Amino acid sequence: MVQRVAIIGAGSSGLASIKCCLDEGLEPTCFERSDDIGGLWRFAETAEAGRFSVYRSVITNTSKEMSCFSDFPFPEDFPNYLHHSRLLEYFRMYAEHFSLLKYICFKTTVRSVRKHPDFSTTGQWDIVMETNGKVASAIFDAVMVCSGHYGDPHLPLDSFPGLKKHFKGQYLHSWEYKDSASFQGKRVLVLGAGNSGGDIAVELSRVAAQVFLSTRSGTWVASRISDHGFPLDMIFTTRFNNCVESFLPSAVMHQLKLKKFRAWFDHANYGLIPQKSPNLMLIVNDELPSCILCGAVVVKPNVLEFTENAAAFEDGTVEENIDVVVFATGYTFSFPFLEESVRSVCRSKFSLYKYIFPPSLEKPTLAVVGLLELTGSIMAGSELQARWVTRVFKGLNRLPPANRLMADIAKKKQHLIKQGLSSKESKIKTNYIGYMDEIASCVGVKPNVLLLFLMDPKLALEVFFGPCTPCQYRLTGPGKWVGARNTILNQWHRTLKPLRTRVIDDSSNRSSVFQWLRVLGLPALLCASLLICKYSPQLWFPRVRLGASPICKMGFMKGGL
Ligand code: NAP
């Protein structure tokens, strides 16, 4: 029976894993290489080899309501999107509140994780770790790998002829980038338009002589600020929207998304329009379009080659006098401490059962937590994974037999191939609500919305039409939290709280009525319309020829009727 659990890493996934172990009565020991918690989100002045590194100005791109641990909301006065220092503050509050620190061995590096000789009967692991040069070993009943996947910079120097041989300027990876101080007056080429590339290009454009942003595939850009100033993810990541998305043909959904993206700015005019699937690449950046509009950032295609001081691009253009190239080309990951038989499986999240469990272990006593790219908060996803994993370890939830795990993995890979996406494309983002509900079903904590409409309609309205916050997975089942209902009902209040720093009249009441009308009324109307369109179109368009209706023109009814 599993009792002692080794947790590798004390970032957000590691902290959640310690807490979940404690909730299930397991004994966690967390090994953290550095001297503090926070992982990726703990800023350091210089990048250290093998450690995560963020830049000084980085701000989350998912909002506080959507990113919190499910039974520990952010303080209501925290801003909606958080600077790394505020997020770290929150982690410290979480660790303190649940007394997690005493389970962490700091400055301890895990060197190896190997199956114990009796693994097939006990499922145990031999772990070797090093603290201040001293090597020790111990046997654990189970292992949670929470060491993150942004530690190894991907620096594709060989993909750019002339860079190493001819280019005389400086180059660095975004992993090394801290701030714009040393870029004053320089001509900078940022390679890669992911979230890092977008942020760095915008920041540098304030001090550099010129910034070029080169993108190979293009990207959609969304603002953190959505309709009426509410956080983007709170407005769009709703069960209602998810229903509409699964209900509508994907071509129609594609068109609706394009329309939404174009409403802010035309991505083709700004040189950013993606060449591949619309779901593949979306970055969150509030200022990039404005920087492009003002000429402070100039978008370029992929680089063909470098000469001594210039970059030649695929469209035949050349930019001379490039001083610095910033490779914002992403990250790779590895788990060097795992024994080869397990490490080879963990090279891709798509080879793991529900991105967590290596499928062919005789005992399910090793799990990877947080190896995720979601269309919502990774923190929330990791915490839910940890809840499931600890219950599997404890024997409260069971995994299907290995052949079914393999079949599930194969089916998902097949689905990707069908969509034209290779399973190697690590940045494919999985649908947030779909994934959360899938894991929640395994744990037994997926809210039953229909039942909720009968039992608690006020809450059900928020759960269905409002943002799908992590607290929704604390309403029922194991780990049910008594504060979840209130947290959900007060989410809009907590969103507005840090903004209400200059209240001049009582228009707040009016605006909250409008907010409700907008959040609930319009989607409900749309929902009803779609259902009518699908099942009784003549009710909606009694005398109108279907093909000529405005809704048909918008593409809503394509295929379905
Ligand atoms: P990323 O999302 O992997 O983006 C890397 C970019 O580099 C892509 O645009 C990719 O282009 C390009 N690239 C890679 N190899 C290339 C090559 N050989 N030639 C040309 N282009 C190449 O990496 P990231 O932006 O560093 O982000 C890493 C993770 O951190 C992501 O999950 C991101 O969301 C997160 N992040 C979050 C924040 C925030 O919360 N504010 C900020 C920064 C990063 P293709 O699309 O053509 O492959």
Considering only 59-63, 213-217, 363-367, 411-415, which range has the smallest mean pLDDT? 411-415
pLDDT at 542 over 70: no
Considering only 38-52, 113-127, 161-175, 525-539, which range has the smallest mean pLDDT? 525-539
Read off the pTM. Answer: 0.90
88 contacts: CB under 8 Å, gap ≥ 6: 37, 38, 41, 42, 43
**HSE toward the beta carbon, residue 69, CA cutoff 13 A:** 27
d(CA 356, CA 377): 17
Q: Tell me which residue has its CA closest to atom 15 in ligand 1.
A: 329
Residue 285 Cβ contacting ligand 1 at under 6 Å: no
Q: Which atom of ligand 1 is nearest to the CA of 174?
A: 26
Specify whether the CB–CB gap between 190 and 214 falls below 8 A.
yes
Considering only 83-87, 230-234, 290-294, 420-424, which range has the smallest mean pLDDT? 420-424
> What is the mean predicted confidence (pLDDT) over 221-244?
96
CB count in 10 Å sphere of residue 156: 12
Residue 416: which pLDDT band, with cuts at 50, 70 and 90? confident
pLDDT at 449 over 80: yes
3-state secondary structure of 284: strand
Residue 520: which pLDDT band, with cuts at 50, 70 and 90? low
3-state secondary structure of 115: strand
pLDDT at 558 over 70: no
> What is the mean predicted confidence (pLDDT) over 518-526?
58
- Cα of 198 from ligand 1 centre, angstroms: 9
pLDDT at 371 over 50: yes
Residue 515 tokens, joined = 């907010």
Which overall architecture, per CATH, does domain 154-329 show?
Answer: 3-Layer(bba) Sandwich (3.50)
Q: In a mutational test of the pocket of ligand 1, which residue from 216, 282, 283, 326 has the highest number of ligand atoms less than 8 Å from its CB?
A: 216
Q: In a mutational test of the pocket of ligand 1, which residue from 40, 224, 427, 429 has the highest number of ligand atoms less than 8 Å from its CB?
A: 427
| Domain locations along the chain | 4-151+333-438, 154-329, 444-553
Residue 422 Cβ contacting ligand 1 at under 6 Å: no
Q: Please name the amino acid found at residue 165.
A: K
Identify the CATH number of the domain defined by range 4-151+333-438: 3.50.50.60
- Cα of 119 from ligand 1 centre, angstroms: 39
Q: Tell me which residue has its CA closest to atom 16 in ligand 1.
A: 329
Residue 419: which pLDDT band, with cuts at 50, 70 and 90? confident
pLDDT at 515 over 80: no
Residue 304 Cβ contacting ligand 1 at under 6 Å: no
- 4-151+333-438 and 154-329 agree in CATH topology: yes
Residue 67 Cβ contacting ligand 1 at under 6 Å: no
Residue 156 Cβ contacting ligand 1 at under 6 Å: yes
Residue 302 Cβ contacting ligand 1 at under 6 Å: yes
538 contacts: CB under 8 Å, gap ≥ 6: none
Q: Residue 190 has what DSSP assignment?
A: E
Any idea of the CA torsion for 386, 391, 392, 394, to the nearest 10 degrees? Answer: 130
Q: Which residues pair with 384 in a beta bridge?
A: none
Residue 59 Cβ contacting ligand 1 at under 6 Å: yes
Residue 523 Cβ contacting ligand 1 at under 6 Å: no
Rounded to whole angstroms, what are the CA distances from 268 to 146, 199, 226? 39, 20, 21
Q: State the pLDDT at residue 553.
A: 32
Considering only 32-36, 138-142, 517-521, which range has the smallest mean pLDDT? 517-521
Residue 279 Cβ contacting ligand 1 at under 6 Å: no
Residue 199 Cβ contacting ligand 1 at under 6 Å: yes
- Cα of 107 from ligand 1 centre, angstroms: 30
3-state secondary structure of 314: coil
H/E segment holding residue 524? helix 522-535
Q: Tell me which residue has its CA closest to atom 43 in ligand 1.
A: 196
d(CA 226, CA 57): 21
CB count in 10 Å sphere of residue 480: 12
Residue 98: which pLDDT band, with cuts at 50, 70 and 90? very high
Q: Which atom of ligand 1 is nearest to the CA of 280?
A: 46
d(CA 403, CA 407): 6
pLDDT at 552 over 60: no
134 contacts: CB under 8 Å, gap ≥ 6: none
Share of the chain above pLDDT 70, in %: 88
Q: State the pLDDT at residue 544.
A: 35
Q: In a mutational test of the pocket of ligand 1, which residue from 150, 329, 429 has the highest number of ligand atoms less than 8 Å from its CB?
A: 329
Residue 194 Cβ contacting ligand 1 at under 6 Å: yes
